[in-house]
Amino acid sequence: TQLLEQSPQFLSIQEGENLTVYCNSSSVFSSLQWYRQEPGEGPVLLVTVVTGGEVKKLKRLTFQFGDARKDSSLHITAAQPGDTGLYLCAGGGDYKLSFGAGTTVTVRA
Amino acid sequence: GAVVSQHPSWVICKSGTSVKIECRSLDFQATTMFWYRQFPKQSLMLMATSNEGSKATYEQGVEKDKFLINHASLTLSTLTVTSAHPEDSSFYICSARPPQAGGPNEQFFGPGTRLTVL
């Protein structure tokens, strides 16, 4: 089983501040996914990174895949209350996904 | 595209009864679906992989006789929690992967089913 470590576990910030969530592993992944989950709902896929060193932007969210494809980060610029949720990174082989423990982000208005 | 639905969204049952949860891929065919369990403020725990036309593959520690999985068609998988007990109360989520040979392992999740066993 490929393990993914996410940090921090919890993050509470004021609206307008920036934040970064990290996802690290000792294993190489062919791809990594980032999901956001709101209470009582299923996770929603935000992005998939495939190439080492890849950077993808989704509005105020920036995702980076490490050069060695063992780690990834999610950076949110000027966070808004709507960014509140559980952020999960996931990676895996051909079919099963391994999930990080998740980062609970709370953005206070 | 890549929409997955679950039914019911929540269910309350008495201890000892069985509960069936359905997972459907609405706009694609899925030979493989996945069932997860999630406790409050925790990540997803994979319970089993549902394979169309064959037996499900269960993760270590998951009782296959307790959590019956049937993947009868390319768009439907069901999870039946048999003889449910209060400790089975949880949020159950399914996912499916659209067919994309050689592509990244992206899974799309249903909205989840909240099971409460009294």
| Cα A35 from chain centroid (whole Å) | 6
**Chain A residues touching residue B46 (CB < 8 angstroms):** 96-97
pLDDT of B103 strictly over 80 = no
pLDDT of B21 strictly over 80 = yes
- Map residue A82 onto helix, strand or coil: helix
Strands (E), chain B: 4-7, 10-13, 19-25, 32-38, 44-51, 57-58, 67-73, 76-81, 90-96, 108-109, 113-117
Question: From the list A30, A41, A92, which residue is nearest B111 (CB)?
Answer: A41
Q: How far apart are CA B86 and CA B88, in angstroms?
A: 5
Q: How far apart are CA A37 and CA B83, in angstroms?
A: 30
Contact A31 B105 (CB under 8 A): yes
Q: What is the pLDDT of residue B101?
A: 57
**Segments of chain A scoring below 70 in pLDDT:** 1-2, 93-94
Contact B105 A101 (CB under 8 A): no
Say how many C-beta atoms besides its own lie within 10 A of residue B36's C-beta: 25
User: Does any CB of chain A come closer than 8 Å to the CB of residue B60?
Assistant: no
Q: Please write the tens of the pLDDT for every residue from B23-68.
A: 999 999 988 999 999 998 889 999 999 988 889 999 999 999 999 9
Token pair belonging to A3: 């393990």
Q: How far apart are CA B91 and CA A84, in angstroms?
A: 20
Give chain B's end-to-end CA distance (angstroms, integer).
37
User: Does any CB of chain A come closer than 8 Å to the CB of residue B25?
Assistant: no
Token pair belonging to B63: 């009782």
Q: What is the pLDDT of residue A67?
A: 96
Phi-psi region of B27 (alpha: psi -120 to 50; beta: other; left: phi over 0): alpha
Token pair belonging to A94: 């051909």
